[in-house]
Amino acid sequence: AQSVTQPDIHITVSEGASLELRCNYSYGATPYLFWYVQSPGQGLQLLLKYFSGDTLVQGIKGFEAEFKRSQSSFNLRKPSVHWSDAAEYFCAVGGGGADGLTFGKGTHLIIQP
């Protein structure tokens, strides 16, 4: 069965500091990997996705993620966070096509001034 683990429930980062959110997945075939962000009262917004090709993918808002097959990981990074990045971040895996997504439990990002 497929699964996604986001080991950090909460992360606190100072504004301007770098950020890395961890995501590990279990999937029986080639995974389609996604990072979404959910702000209070907002829907999920796609930050970036990985289907194939270059393992370092660039997304919106200055985020990037690196797919490491050997580690079954797809960690999200940002070199310098802004106060507006405070939100809930979800990593998800799917098989494409008509497959729904399996989500991790989410990481709540808190930005300190």
Partner 1 sequence: GAVVSQHPSWVICKSGTSVKIECRSLDFQATTMFWYRQFPKQSLMLMATSNEGSKATYEQGVEKDKFLINHASLTLSTLTVTSAHPEDSSFYICSARIPTDTQYFGPGTRLTVL
Q: Are 22 and 8 in contact (CB under 8 A)?
A: yes
C-beta atoms surrounding 6 within 10 Å: 19
Q: State yes or no: residue 40 binds partner 1 (CB under 8 A).
A: no
Tell me which stretch binds partner 1 (CB under 8 A): 15-23, 40-48, 62-70, 77-85: 40-48
- Does residue 33 sit in helix, strand or coil? strand
Q: Taking the complex as a whole, how short is the minimal distance between the CB of residue 28 and partner 1, in angstroms?
A: 17
Residues that bind partner 1 (CB under 8 A): 32, 34, 36, 42-46, 49, 51, 90, 94, 96-106
